[in-house]
Structure 1
Amino acid sequence: MQDGKPVKALIRNYTEADAEGLIDAQRASFPPPFPEELLWNEEQLREHVARFPEGALCAEVGGRIVGSMTGLIVRLDDYGHVHNWEQITGGGYIRNHNPNGDTLYVVDICVIPAFRKAGVGKWLMQSMYETVVHLKLERLLGGGRMPGFAGKAKEATALQYLDKVIAGEWKDPVISFLLRCGRMPVGVAADYLEDEESLNYAAIMEWRNPFTNS
């Protein structure tokens, strides 16, 4: 739904031909002060499609890409819960993708502002959950930005901020969304990603595959 009206959206795997639309969607989704150099470049997108096409998803409305989600597979024991985005995503190039791993790690998810209340992000997340189940992985994991934290940093530590968001006392545009999608926090990472709004913190958020025995 957008503006109270049904909108037909297509969730599909993206290809190299979608590079311009994907970069445009990222630029609209992450305006300054988000660092321009952290937006996708064409070489990164080629690597995503070549190394793990099942983890390269986009949402298209009327021929326009309005959102995307990218993942790779890792063996979690190689990284643990103390890691940063650069390490675990290979700097966004996913050259460390391990087809024999146990965890689908979210490199990025974005939805342009005009479609953030239309359910596009949730459908991207649900589609990636289906990928986790299909590939019989143990979990989906990823670092969630906490863009509301900078405004509350004088009142709370990053962990206290996260606890208040979980309790519903405070709202955070990213963490609250991830909670609604069924992701649960398993820790807080400092120096996770250069992100002024989050003071470089991220909540490590997990979704466990209910069809595995682990």
Structure 2
Amino acid sequence: MIRKEILEDFIIRNATPDDAIQMEYVQKQCYPSLHESALMNRNHFINHIKIFPEGQIVIEMDGIIIGSASSMRSNFPNHDPTYLEITDNLWITNTHVPEGDWMYGIDIGVLPEYRGMGFSRELYLARQEIGKKLGLKGQLIAGMTLGYGRVKNRMTIEEYCYALEIKKFTDPTITPQMKAGFRWIRPLYNHIDDPQAGFACVLMYLPVDDNYRIEKTR
């Protein structure tokens, strides 16, 4: 479990059921174009805390939740499930693997007015710290290609992902995640119901051991 002060006025800690309503609010503010079926609500968050308390994290200031991150334990996927499939329709009851080798990040969000202050990076670092304590290989995430909406009239999502891979473009989600240390594995097309992201994500990993490698695939 984790609890510590960051940036003087903020506390990063494991979530409790009392945080669930505010976590729901953060989710709605962070993903306005995400289909309702893929938005987690307070009951989902409460279930995550019950199943895997170590993997649910919030950042608060004076009792106000300004950021949160949800995760589960998983083995490396041997196929490309959709977001709803890998999260058990957001509940994680049947897809959390108690002895899994990886911490699979299923959600991370910081309220818009607090972005640019390094809070997402703090959430990733906290996950990494917890992963080390649990003896995991590291983190897996499916980063949403939220910058695609700016160029969707002039290229396909496949072309956009390739441009990101070769760093021709920057993306408001993928680029900061890669700057935080995440490594590209492959795009996940038709992964999540968000037209702004072209319904796509990029599967990435952050290993505990810097020497650990997963082959990049297209």
Identify whether the pair has TM-score above 0.5, normalized to the shorter chain.
yes
Mark the CA change 1:61 to 1:166 in structure 2 (over 3 Å): closer, same or farther.
farther
Question: SS in structure 2 opposite 1:92?
Answer: coil
How do 1:84-99 and structure 2 match up within 5 A?
84-95=82-93, 96-99=95-98
Bigger shift: residues 85-94 or 154-163: 154-163
Mark the CA change 1:212 to 1:92 in structure 2 (over 3 Å): closer, same or farther.
farther
TM-score under structure 1 normalisation?
0.88
CA deviation after TM superposition for structure 1 residue 145, in Å: 0.5
Measured against aligned partners, the alpha-carbon deviations of 1:171-200 in whole angstroms (never above 9, x if no partner) come to: 211001111111111001111110111111
Paired letter, 1:54? E
Distance 1:48 1:124 in 2: 17
CA deviation after TM superposition for structure 1 residue 13, in Å: 0.6
Distance 2:171 2:13 in 1: 28
1:117 aligns with 2:109: no
* Aligned position for 2:216: none
Contact 2:82 2:192 in 1 (8 A): yes
Distance 2:97 2:34 in 1: 29
CA deviation after TM superposition for structure 1 residue 161, in Å: 2.0
CA deviation after TM superposition for structure 1 residue 207, in Å: 0.8
* Aligned position for 2:172: 173
How do 1:55-70 and structure 2 match up within 5 A?
55-70=55-70
Runs of 4+ in 1 over 6 A off after TM superposition: 211-214
CA deviation after TM superposition for structure 1 residue 139, in Å: 2.5
Measured against aligned partners, the alpha-carbon deviations of 1:113-146 in whole angstroms (never above 9, x if no partner) come to: 1111111111001100111111111131111100
Paired letter, 1:23? E
Distance 1:135 1:10 in 2: 22
CA deviation after TM superposition for structure 1 residue 41, in Å: 1.7
* Aligned position for 1:23: 24
User: Percent identity over the alignment?
Assistant: 25
Question: SS in structure 2 opposite 1:131?
Answer: helix
Question: SS in structure 2 opposite 1:10?
Answer: strand
CA deviation after TM superposition for structure 1 residue 14, in Å: 0.7
Count of aligned positions: 206
CA RMSD of aligned residues (A): 2.0
TM-score under structure 2 normalisation?
0.86
Contact 2:189 2:201 in 1 (8 A): yes
* Aligned position for 1:105: 104
Distance 2:163 2:188 in 1: 17
Measured against aligned partners, the alpha-carbon deviations of 1:149-182 in whole angstroms (never above 9, x if no partner) come to: 2332454443442342344431211001111111
Distance 1:138 1:205 in 2: 13
Distance 1:193 1:38 in 2: 8
Distance 2:69 2:211 in 1: 23
